Structure 1
Amino acid sequence: MPVKKKRKFPDADDNEPKCKITSFTRPQIRGARPIADKLFSGKKCLTWFHKYAGADKEVGPEAMEKFCEDIGVEPENIIMLVLAWHLEAASMGFFTKDEWLRGMTILQCDCTERLQSKLDYLRNELNDSVSFKNIYRYAFDFARDKDQRSLDMDTAKAMLALLLGRTWPLFPVFHQFLEQSKYKGMNKDQWYNVLEFSRTINTDLSNYDEDGAWPVLLDEFVEWQKAWPTS
């Protein structure tokens, strides 16, 4: 999960106002059995949080790196985005105490070992089309600067690479298009439609309807791609 420096007031697996994400349905947690069948402890979970946050009310970028090291996951790994989704984290690179306690309680994780036992579960959620769509949509608000309505293009390209880089055959070409385009950012409608485009449009673009309700950005991508020499 890419880390952003805090403002006042995220390669694939190996590749408005402050928004509380509450509209995305999270499935009931299934996974490894609790360590030694012990019950989840809220007190232990809070102590675990303060191991990284110290006296602060949140785990920040430096502490996040230590947290990732302890659970054995690179900060840029997509599994950190899935975890942030479960915690309903509002800002990239930060977990607040409320987010930590709420999310880890749902996951029934009160220590490093328990979270490690759930990593395969978190990774497998990416294979569920509904969960993936929710994670993808969540990523927009999670990654954007909270004083902006759109994702800046560098962040959008990085998040698209994380989410679609290994599964969408046209992603390398789409990335090239974004590199040379006039667009400096991506709004929510464009972001949502890129996923729909990647799921429904053939690699050769043969079923793309120019009169469909696609954003202009995708119309321009199709026009740009079709203008490429075929040999």
Structure 2
Amino acid sequence: MPVKKKRKSSGSDESALKKCKITSFCRTQIPSRLINPEDHFSSKKCQSWFYEYTDTDEVVGPEGMEKFCEDIGVEPENIIMLVLAWKLEAQNMGFFTKEEWIKGMTSLQCDQPERLQGKLDYLRSQLNDPVTFKNIYRYAFDFARDKNQRSLDMDTAKSMLALILGRTWPLFPVFHQFLEQSKYKVMNKDQWYNVLEFSRTVNTDLRNYDEDGAWPVLLDEFVEWQKARLVV
């Protein structure tokens, strides 16, 4: 789950793209103790587990989140962490409140790291259903934005797009380059939603793109920019 950082001046397209690529692998896991299948979920154990990562505000913050990821053997930037946040209905990227934790982990029936490790394949499988994937994608916009802003700053938008679409959308590297050189500093919700629709319906050669369709200007400009590059 990428933590927002202060905007830095952009370098070359290649270095910027490398920077925004998100890993999809899990850490090498230390062999965990076996779980007795007869042991039922315990709310008390779930709460105690939460407090292993909290600060005085009873919120799992960045430091606690890093330890949590180590315990379950998942990189913080792994897309599984976004799916988990969606399951917990977390409101702020990089943070889990006690209420979110208890409600979400109870739903998953996880009260210790080993149980959640056993759910990782299930969490990843949620991305295979088109409807669920769309829900997670839409959730990511409000999850990642600053709550006092209506739009995503472009650095965060590029990182989140890399996380969600970077591995599956062939045009993502080109779209990322377009965003790098464009005038856009933020991405609004309508643009965010339409990028997913664009990635699902428009061919890589862009020939089936309807210029008279109800696409945001950002995507019209991307298509025009890419077609000009292909001519050259």
Across the two proteins, how many residue pairs are aligned to each other? 208
Q: Which residue number corresponds to residue 135 of structure 1?
A: 136
CA drift of 1:56 comes to 2.9
In structure 1, the residue matched to 2:174 is 173
Q: What runs of 5+ residues in structure 2 fail to find an aligned partner? A: 6-21, 26-34
Aligned letter for 1:150? S
1:10-89 matches, cutoff 5 A: 11-14=22-25, 35-89=36-90
1:93 alignment partner, SS class: coil
Alignment of structure 1 residues 79-158 onto 2, 5 Å: 79-158=80-159
Give the counterpart letter for 1:189 in structure 2.
Answer: D
Match of residue 4 from structure 2? 4
Work out whether residues 53 and 59 of structure 1, in 8 Å CA contact, stay in contact via their aligned partners in 2.
yes
Distance in 2 (alpha carbons) for counterparts of 1:50 and 1:172: 40
The farther-off stretch of 105-114 and 35-44 is 35-44
Is this contact kept in 1: 2:71–2:113, CA < 8 A? yes
Contact 2:3 2:94 in 1 (8 A): yes
Question: How far has the Cα of 1:37 moved from its partner?
Answer: 2.9
Correspondence for 1:8: none
Q: Check the 8 A contact 1:35/1:114 in 2, yes or no.
A: no
Task: Work out the CA distance in 1 between the residues paired with 2:66 and 2:184.
Answer: 32
Q: What do the CA deviations read for 1:135-187 (whole angstroms, capped 9, x no partner)? A: 10000000001110000000000000000001001001000000000000100
Q: Over residues 21-66 of structure 1, what are the superposed CA-to-partner deviations in whole Å (9 max), with x where a residue is unaligned?
A: xxxxxxxxxxxxx852322111110010011115432100001000
Please state how far the C-alpha of 1:229 moved relative to its aligned partner: 3.5
Q: Is the 8 A contact 2:23 2:75 kept in 1?
A: no
* TM-score when normalising by structure 2: 0.86
The Cα of 1:129 is off from its aligned counterpart by 0.9
Partners of 1:142 and 1:187 in 2: CA distance: 13
Identity of aligned residues (%): 78
**1:87–1:99 Cα contact (<8 Å) kept:** yes
Structure with more contact order per residue of length (Cα contacts < 8 Å, sep ≥ 6)? 1
SS in 2 for 1:204: coil
Runs of at least 4 residues off by over 3 Å: none
The residue aligned with 2:28 is none
SS in structure 2 of the partner of residue 206 of structure 1: coil
Q: Aligned AA for 2:180?
A: E
Quote the residue 1:205 is aligned against. 206
Preserved contact between residue 87 and residue 104 of structure 2 (Cα < 8 Å): yes
Using the TM superposition, name which of 125-134 and 173-182 deviates more. Answer: 125-134
Calculate the aligned-residue CA RMSD, in Å: 1.5
